[in-house]
Amino acid sequence: MSGVTKIFPGVKALSDVSLELYAGQVTALVGENGAGKSTVVKILTGIHQPDAGTLVLDEQARTLATPHDAADAGITAIHQETVLFDELSVAENIYIGHAPRGRLGLVDWEQLYRLSDELLQRMGASFDARVKLRDLGIANKHLVAIARALSIDARVVVMDEPTAALSHKEIEELYLLVERLRDDGKAILFISHKFDEIFRIADRYTVFRDGEMAGSGLISETDPDALVAMMVGRSVESVFPPQTSSPGEVIMRVKGYSHPTEFDDISFELRRGEILGFYGLVGAGRSECMQSLFGITRPSTGVLEIDGVTLTPSSPADAIARGLVYVPEDRGRQGAITALGIVDNVALPSLRKTSSRGFVQVAEEFALAREYTQRLELRAASLDQHVGELSGGNQQKVVIAKWLATRPLVIILDEPTKGIDIGSKAAVHAFMRELTAQGLAVIMVSSEIPEILGMSDRIIVMREGRRVAEFTREQASPEHLVRAAAGIGEAA
Amino acid sequence: MTNPSTDGLDDGQRMGHAAQGAAPGSVRVIPDRMRSRFKRIVGSWEALLLLVGLMIFLLNAQASPYFLDPWNLSDATFNFTEKAMIAFAMALVIISGEIDLSVASIIALVSTSMGFAVQLGADTPVLIAVALVIGMLCGAFNGVLVALLGLPSIVVTIGTLSLFRGIAYIILGDKAYAGYPASFAWFGQGYVWWVITVELVLFMIIALFFYILLHRTSFGRAVFAIGNNPTAALFSGIRVPRVKFILFVLTGLLSAIAAICLTSRLGSTRPSIAVGWELEIVTMVVLGGVNILGGSGTIAGVLIAALVMGMVTFGLGLLNVPGIVMSIFVGLLLIGVIALPIVFRRLGNRRKAVVPG
C-alpha cells in the first residue's frame, strides 16, 4: 500500500504512509501506541477504509470495503486477543465461515475434522481438532488462529502483537511457526513492541511515528538504538526520571489486612511524597490486596488508617471520600467507561465537586477535564470524544486524570504502564515524580523489575498472599526481588 | 445555584474559554466539543422521531375530519399518558442496564389494594397513600433482589410479574371492586383547564422531573455510567447497588401513580387491569431511542415516542381499524423506525468504500 491517509473525526490517524510487504519475508511494523499501527491493520482487514491512497496486491489495485473482501484477497489477521469461539471445537473455529459442505449444503463433518487435523499436524500441534477451544491454553489458541489463517489459504498474514500473552517457551514455538509460514511464501506483517522479537524474527522493518512514516529498511542494516530513535524522534537517555524529593510524615497505615483466600496479614506504612513499590509474581495477591484497601472486597480482618482517620472502606466511594484512589490494571473494564466521553470519565469520581446540591454543572465538568488532561498532555480531538477511540497510552492518561481530579492523598497505581508505549511510559513516570514532589503518596504495583527499581523509594515483595520481604531503594537488586518473589532461599 | 452557562452550552464561548486558560503555544488545547449543539440536535434520533411524529399527525389530519377536534385530541392523550409515566422511570432502569417487566402487575396489585381499602371505608387521601406505599414496596422488593442480591433483573421481574398479579387475583378472585369516592375521580377524569386533563398535566410534570433527574443531576450521570460499564462505575466510587435500588423503587412509585390515574379513570378494579402494558411501555422506551442494552437514551426521545404511539393508536382508532391490526402496525413501526437509520448508515459506508478517495 502506498500514500495511505486515514482521517478520523478531528484526528489524522495516518498521513501518507506506505508499507511494502514481500512474499516469503517478515516485515516488522514498529511504532509507539497511537502511531497508527492498529489503523493499518484495520485498513488491511477491511474494517476501515482509507481516505486517500492505494492498495496494490500482486500488481493489482484493490479496495477492501468489508472484512469479507479482505479475506477474499487472501489477507488475514491474527489479533493480540484472539477472536475465537470458546464453546466450539477447534475444527469449527478453524473453518467457521468456510466449512466444507456436503450434499444438501450441510457441513461435511468428517471432511472438516480430517482437514483440520491435517492442518494442525502440519503445524506441529499436539491436540485434536475435536477438542473444545476453551480447554486449550492461550498459546494453543494462537495456533488455532494461525491454522484458521492457513485454512483460507492467506497470502498476507498480519500478526498484531501475537506474543503479548505468551510465555517464553510458547513464544519460541510461535517463532518456529512464523518461520514456517514465511518459508511457505506468505507475506507476514509482524507488529510488536518488543525489540528482541523484531530482531529475532523480522527481515524488514517499517517505523511509524504519529501516523507518519519514520523509516523503513532491512533489519540487517539497523540496530535497536536506531529504531528507538526513529520511533520517538529523539534519543532516549535516562529511562527513569531522578528522585527529587524525600518522603515526609506517615500518611497511611495498614495493619493486619487479611482475606480468607487472597492475602494474609499485610501491614505497611506509607509516607507523603513516597513511592512504595509492590513486586511479586502474577497471582501473589497484590492487586487483590489493593482492591480490598479501595473497598472493592471486604477484608476479614485488618485496619486502615489514612491521615489519622481509621476506617474499613466498604465501597470505593468510602475510600475516595478519604483521599485514597486506585488506578486499576484493567483499563478497558475497570478503569475507563470507553463508550462515554473524556469529560464524563474525568468528572465521574468528582461528581460531588462539580455539582451543586446534586445538580451537575457542565461548565465545571469541562473545566476539570480541561485542567487535568492538559497537565497530562493528553492527545484527543475533543473533550467529548469517546475514550474508546483513544490509543492505550492516552486512555491511561484519562484514567489517571480522573483520579487526580479528586485531589487524593494516596494514589494506588496497578501496573500503570502495562501495554503502553515508551513515550507514554516516560510521561507517566515523570508525572509520578511530579506528584510525589507535591506531597502525594504513591503505591505502585508493578511486575516490571526495571520500573520497580527505577521508581520506588521502598519495595515490598509479596508471594502467595503474604508480604515476604521489604527493601529500600539502595538495598534492592533484581536478584533480590526475583528470589524473594519466587521463594528461593531467604532473600530478606 | 446553577451556573448560567450550564444551560447555555454555548460552544463558541467555551472554546474561547479554553484557549484563554492555556499558555500560548506550549500546551495543546483540546476543544470541548466536536460538533456544535445545533448539529448534534439535527443529527439526533429525537429529531428524526419528531419528523415521523409530524408526518403521522398530518396523515391523521388528512385521513379523518374528526382528528383535529380539540376534545378528540384531549381524549386521545389517555392512550399514552398513564403508560408514558411509567416509561420515563423504565427509561432510567433500561439505561442502567436493567429492566422491570413487573410494572403492569404492580398496577394490578396497587389497584386491587385501593379497591380493598375502599371496602374498608377509606377516603381519597388514604387511597393515594395506600397506592404509593404498595407501589414502592413492590419496587423495593424488585430492588432488593436485583441490587442487593445481584440477581438478573429480567428473571426477577418476570417472577414478580406473576407474583404481584397473582396476589391481586387471590385478593379479588374474578370479582371487581367499584364504589370509589367521587373525589377520587378527579385524577383520571378531571380537567385542569378547558381540554387539558389532570393526567396530561401530571404527565408533563413527571416528564420534566425525569428530564432533570437524568440529564441534570449527578444521579443521572451515575445511571449512564452504570449502564455503560458497571465495573468501572463501581471503581469510580459510584454506589451501584444503591442507585439500582432507587431506580426500582422509583419505577414502583410511578407504576402506583399510573395505577391511581387508571383506576380513577375506569372507576373500577379488576385483577386483569393493564394486562400486557409492560411490553407497550418497553416498546415506547426503545422507540424513544433508549439503547435496550443500556448506556444511552434521552427523556426527550421517550416523550416524543409516547406522543407518536398515542397518535398512531388514536388515528387508527378513528379509522375503525381493529385492535389486532393496530398492534401489527405498532410492531412494524417499531422495527421500521429502528432499522431505517441503521440500514442507511450501512449503505453510506458501502458507498464510501466503493469510491476511492
Between residues 8 and 27 of chain A, which touch chain B (CB distance below 8 Å)?
Answer: 9-10
B32 closest CB neighbour out of A63, A339, A383: A383
pLDDT at B103 over 90: yes
Record: contact B237-A381, CB cut-off 8 A: no
Stretch B17-26: mean pLDDT: 39
Q: Which pLDDT value is given to residue B17?
A: 39
User: pTM for this one?
Assistant: 0.74
Strands A266-271 and A250-258: antiparallel
Record: contact B30-A52, CB cut-off 8 A: no
Phi and psi torsions of A467, nearest 5° = -85, 115
Asked if residues A255 and A267 have their Cβ atoms less than 8 Å apart, the reply is yes
- The answer to whether residue B279 sits within a structural domain is yes
Q: Which pLDDT value is given to residue A239?
A: 64
Asked if residues A191 and A32 have their Cβ atoms less than 8 Å apart, the reply is no
- Chain pair A-B, CB pairs under 8 angstroms: 147
Packed helices B218-228 and B81-95: angle between N→C axes, nearest 10 degrees: 60
Domain range for residue B187?
46-341
What the block records as the C-alpha cell of A4 is 495511505
Domain coordinates of chain A in residue numbers? 2-232, 250-486
Q: Which pLDDT value is given to residue B18?
A: 38
CA distance A149 to chain B (A): 24
B6 closest CB neighbour out of A65, A339, A363: A363
A363 — contact with chain B (CB < 8 Å)?
Answer: yes
| Residues of chain B with C-beta less than 8 angstroms from the C-beta of A349 | 236-237
Helix or strand or coil: residue A206? strand
Q: Fill in the amino acid letter for A143.
A: L
CA distance A482 to chain B (A): 31
Report chain B's terminal Cα–Cα distance, integer Å: 51
A382 closest CB neighbour out of B32, B220, B238: B32
pLDDT tens sequence across B68-90: 888 888 888 888 999 999 999 99
- The answer to whether residue B35 sits within a structural domain is no
CA distance A242 to chain B (A): 24
pLDDT tens sequence across B228-255: 999 999 999 999 999 999 999 999 999 9
pLDDT at B16 over 60: no
- Residue A94 CA, chain-centre distance (Å), reads 26
B3 closest CB neighbour out of A321, A358, A363: A363
- The answer to whether residue B16 sits within a structural domain is no
Residues in Cβ contact with A192 at an 8 Å cutoff, skipping those fewer than 6 apart: A28, A30, A161, A162, A163, A198
What the block records as the C-alpha cell of A472 is 529500600
Q: Is it true that domain A2-232 has CATH number 2.60.40.420?
A: no
**Are A2-232 and A250-486 in the same CATH fold?**
yes
Q: Which pLDDT value is given to residue B353?
A: 47
Taking CA atoms, what residue in B is nearest to A313? B237
The percent of residues in chain B predicted with pLDDT above 70, rounded, is 87
pLDDT tens sequence across B112-169: 999 999 999 889 999 999 999 999 999 999 999 999 999 999 999 999 999 999 999 9
Q: Which pLDDT value is given to residue B162?
A: 96
User: Which of A360, A387, A404 is the best mutation test for B, with the most CBs of B within 10 A?
Assistant: A360
| Residues of chain A with C-beta less than 8 angstroms from the C-beta of B232 | 333-337
What the block records as the C-alpha cell of B221 is 450521570
| Residues of chain B with C-beta less than 8 angstroms from the C-beta of A381 | 30-31, 34
| Residues of chain B with C-beta less than 8 angstroms from the C-beta of A344 | 221, 224-225
What number is the ipTM of this complex?
A: 0.78
pLDDT at B172 over 50: yes
DSSP characters for B216-231? Answer: HBHHHHHHHHHHH-HH
For the ranges A130-134, A454-458, B31-35, B312-316, which has the lowest average pLDDT? B31-35
Higher pLDDT, B333 or B222: B222
Record: contact A364-B3, CB cut-off 8 A: yes
pLDDT under 70: residue ranges of chain A: 1-13, 32-34, 80-83, 138, 164-168, 193, 232-239, 282, 488-492
Q: Which pLDDT value is given to residue A165?
A: 61
Record: contact B31-A316, CB cut-off 8 A: no
Taking CA atoms, what residue in B is nearest to A367? B18
pLDDT at B25 over 50: no
| Residues of chain A with C-beta less than 8 angstroms from the C-beta of B229 | 333, 336-339
Q: Which pLDDT value is given to residue B223?
A: 96
Taking CA atoms, what residue in A is nearest to B232? A334
Angle at the Cα of B327 from the Cα atoms of B323 and B329, rounded to 5 degrees: 115
Closest CA to B203 of B216, B192, B217, B194: B192
Confidence class for position B110, pLDDT limits 50, 70, 90: very high
- The answer to whether residue B239 sits within a structural domain is yes
Fold of A250-486: Rossmann fold (3.40.50)
Report d(CA A156, CA A159) in Å as an integer.
10
Q: How many domains does chain B have?
A: 1
Record: contact B350-A10, CB cut-off 8 A: no
Record: contact A360-B218, CB cut-off 8 A: yes
Stretch B205-210: mean pLDDT: 97
Q: Which pLDDT value is given to residue B27?
A: 54
Helix or strand or coil: residue A127? coil
| Residues of chain A with C-beta less than 8 angstroms from the C-beta of B27 | 374, 377
Please report, for the domain that includes residue B152, its CATH number.
1.10.3470
Average pLDDT, rounded, for chain A: 82
Record: contact B232-A336, CB cut-off 8 A: yes
Helix or strand or coil: residue B69? coil
Record: contact B1-A357, CB cut-off 8 A: yes
Report d(CA A29, CA B225) in Å as an integer.
36
- The answer to whether residue B224 sits within a structural domain is yes
Q: Which pLDDT value is given to residue A262?
A: 84
Closest CA to A208 of A20, A12, A15, A67: A15
pLDDT at B205 over 70: yes
Taking CA atoms, what residue in B is nearest to A5? B357
User: Which of A11, A297, A337 is the best mutation test for B, with the most CBs of B within 10 A?
Assistant: A337
User: Which of A49, A60, A364, A413 is the best mutation test for B, with the most CBs of B within 10 A?
Assistant: A49
